[in-house]
Amino acid sequence: MSSALEELQKDLEEVKVLLEKATRKRVRDALTAEKSKIEIEMKNKMQQKSQRKAELTENEKPAAVVAPITTGYTVKISNYGWDQSDKFVKIYITLPGVHQVPAESVQVNFTERSFDLLVKNLNGKSYSMIVNNLLKPISVEGSSKKVKTDTVLILCRKKAENTRWDYLTQVEKECKEKEKPSYDTETDPSEGLMNVLKKIYEDGDDDMKRTINKAWVESREKQAKGDTDF
């Protein structure tokens, strides 16, 4: 279908042909007036077309780049609680407002001996927690997360059910065992005291050893006399 501008162009060409053939002044004046009218109309059409083209070009320009919503810095989660059932080890992380963020913003990845949690864009920050070297293996497929009011609950499915975890991680176990005293407090108290004195004696300098030896001798002498008051 021809455009209006093309139709006007054809009209103009035909008027020009008629002008060349016309001999009567009245006819020539009428054709000249019509020619001017068509030329003006064509000029207006061309201006409108140029204007529309300019507007389309403007609209096709890329929109202003909008800066993505930043999530600020990432906060390492260090406070949590945990307990267990026969089948699961449960880790509780308190994060106010976490139940209001989109579900896809709370991500947990599991391996057989670890898990990591990432909460994105919660009150302008991200929160992460990585726990490696779990005390015992877990089932990746059977583990999951739940988001509750102000809380993320991580459920680690025990590979060996009905087994008790005394610690959450192997590192925690090793640290706690190092903190335990080297003597057995469940044995006879006198044996416990002997072990303590023995350790102090072994670790002490010469003065400390002399002091312990002196106290030991005096204690034995008093016991021999039946005087046990100190």
* Residue ranges of domains in the chain: 4-52, 74-174
pLDDT at 164 over 90: yes
The pTM (predicted TM-score) of the whole model is: 0.49
Q: 7 pLDDT band (50/70/90 cuts)?
A: confident
Residue, of 23 and 138, whose pLDDT is higher: 138
Q: 223 pLDDT band (50/70/90 cuts)?
A: low
121 touches 103 (CB < 8 A): no
Pick the CATH number of 74-174 from 2.40.50.140, 3.40.30.10, 2.40.30.10, 2.60.40.790: 2.60.40.790
b/e map 171-195, b = 16+ CB within 10 Å: eeeeeeeeeeeeeeeeeeeeeeeeb
Report the mean per-residue pLDDT for the chain: 81
Residue, of 51 and 108, whose pLDDT is higher: 108
Residue, of 12 and 67, whose pLDDT is higher: 12
How buried is 60 (Cβ within 10 angstroms: 0-12 exposed, 13-18 middle, 19+ buried)? exposed
Mean pLDDT of 16-23: 81
**CATH number of this structure's domain 4-52:** 4.10.860.10
Residue, of 178 and 154, whose pLDDT is higher: 154
| R_g of the chain computed on alpha carbons | 46
pLDDT at 196 over 80: no
Highest mean pLDDT among 35-39, 73-77, 94-98, 218-222: 94-98
Mean pLDDT of 144-156: 95
Residue, of 139 and 183, whose pLDDT is higher: 139
